[in-house]
Structure 1
């Protein structure tokens, strides 16, 4: 903080102004410091953390420096989105980019960045939460296709990484491009991969609970799902619409 903690004597360095994270009491002298002094401290802290943030973003948005191969599911999912765009004559690259961002970086990675306690057994203080929000916001801005416009009234957390956003955006675009150039994943390879994942984690999940959650969705959209299955060639060959109707009828009797 601006002054050491009286109990531990420890100073906490951060990416936000003291009064922005909620711990600061009204009237503390720290909240009255001029913005120029704050900005200098924020920039100094940002410089200290720069390598860690860069390493995180580069690891996430890289197919070659991940320490392990890119999961098949990501390639399969991105190819599926491209196929759907082609099928519906959507040729705007911004739309395809947004689809991919919404289904992986913005749905999964932002959540992990913002909530490390989901992965690690740690306590997240309010100041840590505020700092991680800055990193998460930078991550979201990096996935955006819109122009990053800032002015003198923009919040400090936006100004901190303003010069880095264009570089991060190029990493995201390169990541999506590299994945599109990779060899396609066949349905057989994907099924084998999923079967192996199921085998590895068989004892970690309650399959009946998962089925119950899926069925709650089916119960709401039965007509739409049956209609879609009847129009799909592969589904018709396996009579999936008829089988689903049997399941619904059976579950109705059971209830």
Structure 2
């Protein structure tokens, strides 16, 4: 009981767990037994789901188990990141690894794993959400280049897949290496691929809305964009900075 209000005579009570009062020793023993029961169930559930998690990670981090060829956009994007690292003298492999992880696995796949309702017409319960959070956290740890130091006080979701993460990390490294060894994608092939994708999905997106978003971004950072285009050799040959300025001027007049 909290100290009562002497003026009103109201007694205020604070709810506590059973083991926080009475026989402290008995409460600790009971709490430990409950934890051990749940731990056993947790490990059993992990064992049941292990193959599905392994299959998911192996599919996402493999160029040979996709059922189709690797999308050209992934190869083109990863080569672009390597090219930028070379241009700026960045030879730390961890930096290149982190760039690629932030572009694809951590930006796209984690979101899909954590929110399957974005892709499938299903209801995600709170229990399912908690379980998928563990898988998503394991996925993120697998993409990390830092060493995970775990102890007895580490959260259970970290300890659950602690022995599996080194293997998953090797899959991520192999995946990036396999993509690096694939033949380079030319600008012409990439443009043709994008044109084909635009044709296939032409009726699925609001083009005017997308253009408006791009225009808002370009107008906000117009000085930085034109300055960067002026410094790029290919952009200077195509006079892209001048074209951007013309476009912005025309849009301002129309508005």
TM bucket, shorter chain: 0.7 to 0.9
Cα 1:130–1:249, aligned 2, differ >3 Å: closer, same or farther?
A: same
Which residue of 2 is the match for residue 110 of structure 1?
Answer: 110
Does residue 62 (structure 1) correspond to residue 62 (structure 2)? The answer is: yes
Which residue of 2 is the match for residue 135 of structure 1?
Answer: 135
Does residue 224 (structure 1) correspond to residue 224 (structure 2)? The answer is: yes
Which residue of 1 is the match for residue 73 of structure 2?
Answer: 73
Distance between the aligned counterparts of 1:70 and 1:95, measured in 2? 23
Distance between the aligned counterparts of 1:165 and 1:193, measured in 2? 35
Cα distance per residue 1:190-231 (max 9 Å; x no partner): 111111101100111111110100011111100110111111
Deviation at 1:34, TM superposition (A): 2.3
Which residue of 1 is the match for residue 46 of structure 2?
Answer: 46
Deviation at 1:245, TM superposition (A): 0.7
Which residue of 1 is the match for residue 146 of structure 2?
Answer: 146
Which residue of 2 is the match for residue 158 of structure 1?
Answer: 158
Does residue 245 (structure 1) correspond to residue 240 (structure 2)? The answer is: no
Distance between the aligned counterparts of 1:231 and 1:87, measured in 2? 14
> How many corresponding residue pairs?
228
Does residue 179 (structure 1) correspond to residue 179 (structure 2)? The answer is: yes
Secondary structure class of the residue paired with 2:175: helix
Cα distance per residue 1:67-113 (max 9 Å; x no partner): 11000100000000001001111000000000000000000000000
What is the RMSD computed on CA atoms of the aligned residues?
A: 1.5
Distance between the aligned counterparts of 1:188 and 1:246, measured in 2? 26
With normalisation by structure 1, the TM-score equals 0.87
Deviation at 1:160, TM superposition (A): 0.6
Distance between the aligned counterparts of 1:234 and 1:90, measured in 2? 23
Which residue of 2 is the match for residue 93 of structure 1?
Answer: 93
Cα distance per residue 1:56-76 (max 9 Å; x no partner): 000000001111100010000
Per chain length, whose mean CA-contact separation is higher, i.e. which structure has more relative contact order (CA < 8 Å, sep 6+)? 1
Which residue of 1 is the match for residue 197 of structure 2?
Answer: 197
Does residue 212 (structure 1) correspond to residue 212 (structure 2)? The answer is: yes
Distance between the aligned counterparts of 2:66 and 2:178, measured in 1? 13
Deviation at 1:27, TM superposition (A): 7.4
Distance between the aligned counterparts of 2:71 and 2:186, measured in 1? 14
Secondary structure class of the residue paired with 2:203: helix
With normalisation by structure 2, the TM-score equals 0.87
